[in-house]
Amino acid sequence: MNLLVCGGAGFIGSNFIHHMFETYPDVSIVNYDKLTYAGNEKNLAKFSDHKPYTFVKGDICDLAKLNAVMEQNKITHVINFAAETHVDRSIHGGAKEFVLTNTLGVQMILDAVNANAIKKFVNVSTDEVYGALDLYEDRLFTEETPIMPNMPYAAAKAGGDLMCNAYFRTHGTPVIVTHCSNNYGPYQFPEKLIPFFVFKLMAGEKVPVYGDGRNVRDWIHVRDHAKALVLLLEKGEPGHVYNIGSNNERDNMTLTKMILEILGHGEHMIEFVKDRPGHDLRYGIDATKISSLGWKPHYTADRFGDGLRETVEWYQNNTHWVRDLIEQKKDEMNAWQVSFFSNV
């Protein structure tokens, strides 16, 4: 397999590449990444001299470059992690970049996949395209759940997903779409909830919880997500959607209290703040379909405490990682972020 990983320098993409090389050391990987503020080449520094690994800086909206990279490297399979993902940025900072990357960028990859006779393309998406569930209803998102996004980020991702479906039906493009729940683990950009809370608490600052903290998310360890994606590259059926989740729903208050306990803080370190617009109440994934292919998460609901503790400890032990990241990306971040994270 000659694999093109789009967006492989980000959180999920870099963990996927780590898993691939740890499991299949001879696989050939080309990591194609624009290196936006959330992308960090140092996430993969251990592979810089690894012969089957090549890094190419590029934008998925650049069709000519995508075609050249696929042709020159004899790419057979493609997986796409490249995305603008921060929900608050899509609400308060404008949605243009989200549409360009998450919708138009996916279309460019689809065109390149068709032009280069790629065997399989996996487009990694989110459960947020389904909208929201009621807090107490006995229902989960399935692959048949209608797409009804509530936020600009999710709408842009849904646009890419629908483009995949259209290309499969129109051109027979061998594409698979995945909808995954919230990921946690190492190398996540520190604007996201878990690393953000860890670094706030390490700095002696309170953590902000939206609304009353009742919003529920289904949490999956990023390495379990990576294993599911490898399985789909091998056994997934083109034209299909696969939901990926570990049946591990937690409300934000419960998660916050778990982080506080791990770091030895009390609930007085919680600060309730105004809820964000369009804040979905609950996400929950039915992963029966991918489980039927043989996938099982290691960090199941009863092991979430272990996975969360390992994640928190990784950020505690790798403060140099965030300092280096902020030094690299300070021109793309606001003044508060640069000041705060530089002092971690």
pLDDT tens figures, 286-296: 999 999 999 99
* Domain range enclosing 134: 2-189+220-249+282-303
Whether 53 is in a domain gets the answer: yes
By DSSP bridging, strand 120-126 and strand 216-221 are: unpaired
Mean pLDDT by 10 residues, the chain (344 residues): 97 98 93 93 89 95 99 99 82 85 98 99 98 93 97 95 99 99 96 94 95 95 99 98 98 98 98 88 97 98 98 96 80 56 48
For the chain, give the mean pLDDT.
Answer: 93
Query: What is the model's pTM?
Result: 0.94
Four-residue CA torsion sign, 104, 4, 179, 234: positive
Whether 97 is in a domain gets the answer: yes
Tell which residue, 192, 173, 179, has the closest CA to residue 225.
Answer: 179
Q: What is the CATH number of the domain that holds 112?
A: 3.40.50.720
Token digits for 157? 């991702």
Whether 40 is in a domain gets the answer: yes
Spatial distance between the Cα atoms of 69 and 76, rounded to a whole number of angstroms: 12
Whether 121 is in a domain gets the answer: yes
Domain count for the chain: 1
Give catalytic residues, as residue numbers: 127-128, 153
Whether 332 is in a domain gets the answer: no
Whether 118 is in a domain gets the answer: yes
Tell which residue, 273, 289, 151, 123, has the closest CA to residue 212.
Answer: 273
**pLDDT tens digits for range 46-67:** 998 877 999 999 999 999 999 9
Whether 315 is in a domain gets the answer: no
